[in-house]
Amino acid sequence: DNTKIRLVTIGLSHYCEKARWGLDLATTKYVEDAHPPGLSAFSTLKFSSGKQSSVPLTVDYSSSTPVILGDSSAILEKYAPFLYNDSDPAKDAEIKQWEEYFDSHLGPTVRVYLYNLMLNPGYFPTLCTVASTGASLVDSVLFKLILKYGGLDQRMRTAMEVNDEKAQISQDEIRAIFRKVGQKLKTENNTYLLGEKFSAADLTFASLASVLIMPTQLNQLYQFDKCPIKVQKFATELRNTTAGHHVLRCYSQHRFAQYDKKIQQVAITPLTSEYLSRKVVFKTYGRNKNINLLRNLGVGVLGVVMAGCASFGYSKLNHE
C-alpha cells in the first residue's frame, strides 16, 4: 500500500469526522486506523512517541521524517487550506474564531449529552456495535470486554464528567449554539456562516453537530437507527431549525465534493440520485486488520484489558 497518510481515530468521534471530511475534500489519499473509545491510545502513543493519547491524529510519511498532527483544526488547516482565507486576514481570523468556538463549546457538549445516554447498561449492545464500526476484530472484542467487565463506562463518565446534570446543561447549551448559528444565518442572509463560500467554520459546525443531526451520508458510520429514541427525538428537533437545515445542506452539497481550483472554493455537487445515495465509509484495512493479535488474545486478554482501562484514564478522551 503506497498510502502516505494514516488517520488514527475513534470511529464515532465527531472531531474525527471533522478531520476525515477535510482529507476527503482535499482528495488526500489516506488510510484510517479506527478504534473504539479507550483503545485508540495504543496507536496514538506509539506514533507520537508517547507524547499524545488523543485523537484524531495524522501520521504523514511523505517526507523522510514522519510529520505528526494531533488536533482536528491543525489537520484541517494543513490538508484543506482552501477552507480558510489567507488573502483576507480579517476574514481568516473570523473563520478561525468560529471554528474555535465550535471546537470548545459544541464538541464537548454533544459528547457529554450522547455518552450520558449511551453509557447506560441498557444501551451497551448499541454502543458496542456503533463503536466497533471500522475497527479491527480484536479491538471490537476487547471493547466489549472492558465495557462489560473492566469498568470502562465509569472511567469514561469520570474522565468526561458525564452525568445527568451535565447532560441537561449540555443539551441546553447545544440548543443555544443552534440558535446563535441560526440567528447569524438569518441576520446576514448568507448561504454560509461567513458569506457565500463554504469554509472551515461551516465544516466544523456541521461535523461536530452531525452525530445529533444524523445526515444520511453518515448512517453507515453511526447507525442512527440504533440510537436511543430520546436522541432521535432531539435530532428531529434540531433538524427543524435554521442551523439544522444548514448542517443537512452542508452534508448534502459538500460532503463528497472537491476543491475547485478554477473558482477557488469547494464546489457544490449536483444532487443526483446517485450522489444522494452515497455514504461515508471507513477507509480502513477492514475488520481483520491486526488479526494476528488473536493468537495472543487468549493468553493476554487480562493484561490488555487492564492496560486499556489505564490508557483511557490517561487520555481522558480528549478528542480534539
Cβ–Cβ < 8 Å for 54, 66: no
- With b meaning 16 or more CB within 10 Å and e meaning fewer, what string describes 224-243? beebeeebeebbeebbebeb
- pLDDT value at residue 32: 92
- pLDDT value at residue 294: 47
Those residues with Cβ within 8 angstroms of residue 319's Cβ, 6 or more apart along the chain or in another chain: 10, 13, 14, 15, 16, 54, 55, 56, 107, 111
H or E, element range at 133: none
- pLDDT value at residue 259: 73
- pLDDT value at residue 296: 37
- pLDDT value at residue 59: 95
Cβ–Cβ < 8 Å for 53, 45: yes
- pLDDT value at residue 320: 57
- pLDDT value at residue 281: 61
Residue 313 to residues 111, 119, 154, Cα–Cα distance (Å): 17, 16, 10
- pLDDT value at residue 194: 94
Those residues with Cβ within 8 angstroms of residue 218's Cβ, 6 or more apart along the chain or in another chain: 17, 210, 211, 224, 251, 279, 280
- pLDDT value at residue 11: 82
Chunked mean pLDDT (size 10), the chain, 320 residues = 84 94 91 92 89 93 91 96 91 97 98 96 91 90 93 93 97 98 93 93 98 91 84 96 97 86 68 55 53 41 47 48
| Integer Cα distance of 139 and 161 in angstroms | 25
